[in-house]
Amino acid sequence: MTKTILITGASSGLGAEMARQFAARGHDLALAARRTERLAELRSEILAAHPDRRVAVHPIDVTDPDAVFAGFGALREELGRLDRVVVNAGLGKGAKLGTGRFDANLETAMTNFVGALAQTEAAMEVFRAQEAGHLVMVSSMSALRGMPSSMTTYAATKAGVAHLAEGLRTELHGTRLADKIKVTVLYPGYIRSEMNAQVEQSTPLMASTEKGVAAMVAAIEKEVGSAHVPPLPWAALAPVMRHAPLGVLKKMI
């Protein structure tokens, strides 16, 4: 069944590839990001490959709550409804705590957590009005445990957004909306994107953008509660990351 899917951070990386793969599966798209020229290029690319799809684009800076609410409303009005919202926009910037780069850590915190909160609020207003919807929160495998050095703030934001979504799922459980509004949390491992371009290319754990996003899309389409993606090796590594002694964890990461 065709769904209307809003994806934030859709101008590049995982968001853009999700848009391509969802369109190939027959879904309509609402694409949001700051870089409008890239959104326009992606829209043209998708419509050239799938001319029967509907693709709406809207500039949204997720650190501007007013822009988030206005943008979600405009996209819903243009497409008639929003069946699924993928909270994907984020930053990978960060620095060791106490080294004079509070600015970088604050930017990451505001984008990844406060921005995700605004997106979740806007999405849930739509879903509560419709009494239907699917919220997808893109977290990270780094959310499973506190990470060191430049990853500390990033990992903390990803843990925060996972708890935000899981708290919402707990709220809905046992209510009349539990079967109508679904919540999925994704925990991606290393998937090639602009955000992690600095990661060593030769790491055996790095999945291609296409393969990694295919695993994300498959989990989203199943509307699972949570998923570590790609499943191999991340589903197997998840309990190790959660419970390994610190010495072992540091060697792993």
Catalytic residues: 154
Q: Is the separation of the CB atoms in 188 and 218 below 8 Å? A: no
How far apart are alpha carbons 113 and 98 in whole angstroms?
Answer: 20
Residues, the chain: 253
Q: Which of 64, 65, 56 is nearest to 32 (CA)?
A: 56
Burial class (CB in 10 A: 0-12, 13-18, 19+), 104: middle
4-195-207 Cα angle (round to 5): 80
Q: Is the separation of the CB atoms in 6 and 84 below 8 Å? A: yes
